[in-house]
Chains A and B, each alone.
Chain A
Amino acid sequence: MSVATLDPAAAKSVARRRERWVSSRTYVSAAVILIWCLLPFYWMLVTAFRDVGYTFDPTPWFTHVTWDNFSTVFSTSLGNHFAQNLLNSLIVSGVTTAVALLFGVFAAYALARLEFRFKFLVLGFVLGASMFPGVAIVTPLFQLFTNIGWMGTYQALIIPNISFVLPLTVYTLTSFFREMPWELEEAARIDGCTQGEAFRKVIMPLAAPAVFTTAILAFIGAWNEFLIASQLSSDATKTVTVAIAYFAGSQPHQEPYTAVMAAGTVVTIPLVILVLVFQRKIVAGLTAGAVK
């Protein structure tokens, strides 16, 4: 199609019509994506706020609205300890993230900034580790922790979590660190700082946002972990993901759907807020390394 042969006025209107058509198509597509992504989440909310007696009512909008499910979630009378589970998840994810950052920052700095032999090997190892199947370490750890009496301790969850969070941290941070204005470090060193001082005084403040973003990703990764926690936690250390999967009803066989969805909402809302607030950072972190 050669636009050039048409007279200018007609070309303009064709282009404008085309533009309008493209943009309306874009909006329709965007709406489809939006609905696809949010609809199941919406249904979770509807169920979470529905009276338990109407659990199986298929009405697709908010009916029989109640807060009761949320008090059920936090009630301990059925043997659920959701508040404790939340705390467990916070402890496990928090410590995992902290440990991973502590080690990861230095490794990432070296990988991004320093030249040394076997760098490819190290990076390859780190990447391989991040894709490592959790199930391959669960079996030996299950037996090991049983033998040494660690089942039901926090370290029994934190240690295996580190196996996938630390590689993720190193990898993401390495990519971030490459993008930083290292000229400033050079400048600081010309001013007489040692490499260590330059790192602390100049680079650390610059790197803080990258570290923060990585921390969010690491935390979400650990927070959402299920396989390891389902096998290696006990009642005392049960995390929210496991608690939700096996939420107890008022009777041995009863499955409290509405309460489960309420619990899901409680776990998800902070993440959704986190995601909405730090959207840009998270996207940057997710895509770091993969494309640049």
Chain B
Amino acid sequence: MKHSRKFAALAAASVLAMTLAACGGGGSGGGGGGNSGGLSGDAAANLDARGPITYVQGKDNSNVVRPLVDKWNASHPNEKVTFKEQSDKADQQHDDLVQNFQAKNASYDVVDVDVVWTAEFAAKGWLQPLKGKTAFDTTGFLPATVATATYKDTLYAAPQTSDGGILYYRKDLVPTPPKTWDEMMGMCPIAKKNNMDCYAGQFAQYEGLTVNAAEAINTAGGVIVGKDGKPAVNTPEAKAGLNNLVQAFKDGNIPKQAITYQEEQGRQSFEAGKLLFLRNWPYVYNLAKTDGSSVVKDKFGIAPLPGKDGPGASSLGGHNIAMSVYSKHKATAMDFMKFMTSQETEKFYATQGSLAPVRADLYADADLVKQLPYLPVLLTSIKNAVPRPVSPFYPAVTQAVQVNAYAALKGDKTVDQALTDMQAALGAAGSQ
């Protein structure tokens, strides 16, 4: 590019040496993330090669990864793994991965990706498809977690950890937890009698609302994006689902302030004894038991999310582990991926980091259940879970869901209108 060269020449005169590099490498311009050519080439290379690799993951907050890497290295002296720790902020992890994939950085061999990015990275041709020589056996994995790692019918990553929503309820006031949404709504007079709010989830306009709206829609039998990857949210089922939330807001069964709730505000209200039912993640369990200001320490129980006639459809959190197509030692990378998702490793995630396993039988493990009493409930939740839409345009997808669901919850739009707009916005998201 002409202008960048011109400025580079000018910069040479300046003392600011670093700015030189800014312009020297300034061949930016258009194009962007496209990576059409050579994908099959990269994916087909180095399949049998072994040697040292790097594993990239977000902040290892509860010191789970380091001991595992040490263990691997002790038994694989010639195929050592270096652990590269990223930021604890999801956006920054995403940007760091994008940057290194774009640069075809061969030293990002095995990466940990948030479930909602898997499709984007797969579509950009950065993740090794897990088939043929690099096939990965998902027997024993919870199917919903495998779905988060699948794009266009091909597995691109292995499920590593999971997370699902569960229902917290006041067992002192409600002896048996509600199994269905209608049943739960029927219990709301109990809350009223006790001067409490009935139900809350995460309804502020942010990612949590996508999770909650998707749960409501999926629970009622609707979908956001169909099996063919096309948006299919404008259906009677989806309408019934979203309408459940809208109606609950209207009736006051969901308190009006819940429109501002993220995870923490709901937890706060529940711990203060002001809320009968709360949809939240498993992390609340220990905090509600131990927090100084919690008045519900021994008064709450947990249950699967209430559904239409059985357990509801939770959205899924968690992470997948994937291999870069640019890795030089894919055989080692493959083994390491298997090691990082093995039965033993999964158990270690749970005991050491309270991270929910992706393997079904661990949820019945007596030691684990003793330490994390919510596991059986969480298993039901994850078994019935539906992943958030698997889309390479996830940021646009979640925006489409949030904005329209939020407008419906506030009563700014009818449910019909909200779903029509959501459908249209999801359509536009893919072809911008």
Contacts and interface: CB of A to CB of B under 8 A. Distances in A.
**A touches B (Cβ under 8 A):** yes
Given A234-B87, A255-B264, A147 B61 contact: no
Nearest to A232: B95
B96 to A, nearest CB: 6
B98 A79 contact: no
A246 B91 CA distance: 11
B28 A144 contact: yes
B293 A159 contact: no
A251 B283 contact: yes
A55 to B, nearest CB: 7
Interface string B1-32: 00000000000000110110110011110001
Interface string A140-165: 10011011111110010011000000
A146 B97 CA distance: 10
A234 B27 CA distance: 22
B292 A53 contact: yes
B177 to A, nearest CB: 22
A258 B394 CA distance: 33
A53 B291 contact: yes
A74 to B, nearest CB: 16
Contact of B292 (A51, A144, A147, A233): A51
A54 B293 contact: yes
A117 interface: no
Interface in B278-295: 280-281, 283, 287, 291-293
A161 to B, nearest CB: 13
Given A55-B293, A146-B99, A254-B283, A234 B92 contact: yes
B417 interface: no
Interface residues of B, number: 40
A76 B15 CA distance: 38
Interface in B29-87: 32, 59-61, 85-87
Contacts of A52: 292
Contacts of B98: 146
Contact of B28 (A51, A99, A147, A233): A147
A79 B85 CA distance: 10
A242 to B, nearest CB: 8
A233 B85 CA distance: 15
Nearest to A146: B99
B281 A253 contact: yes
B201 to A, nearest CB: 12
B193 interface: no
Contacts of A246: 88-89
Contact of A248 (B25, B61, B263, B287): B61
A146 B95 contact: yes
A67 interface: no
Contact of A140 (B28, B85, B103, B317): B28
A252 B281 contact: yes
A235 interface: yes
A280 B361 CA distance: 69
B235 interface: no
A144 B86 CA distance: 21
Nearest to A246: B89
Interface string B298-321: 000000000000000000010000
B336 to A, nearest CB: 23
Please indicate which of the listed interface residues B18, B32, B87 has the most CB atoms of chain A within 10 Å of its own CB: B87
Nearest to A256: B264
B102 A235 contact: no
Nearest to B93: A235
Contacts of B291: 53
Interface string A10-23: 00000000000000
A143 B283 contact: no
A147 B105 CA distance: 12
Q: Which 4 A-B pairs have the closest CB atoms?
A: A53-B292, A235-B87, A251-B283, A148-B25
Interface of A: 51-57, 77-80, 99, 102, 140, 143-144, 146-152, 155, 158-159, 233-235, 238, 246, 248, 251-255
Interface of B: 15-16, 18-19, 21-22, 25-28, 32, 59-61, 85-89, 92, 95-96, 98-99, 102-103, 163, 262-264, 268, 272, 280-281, 283, 287, 291-293, 317
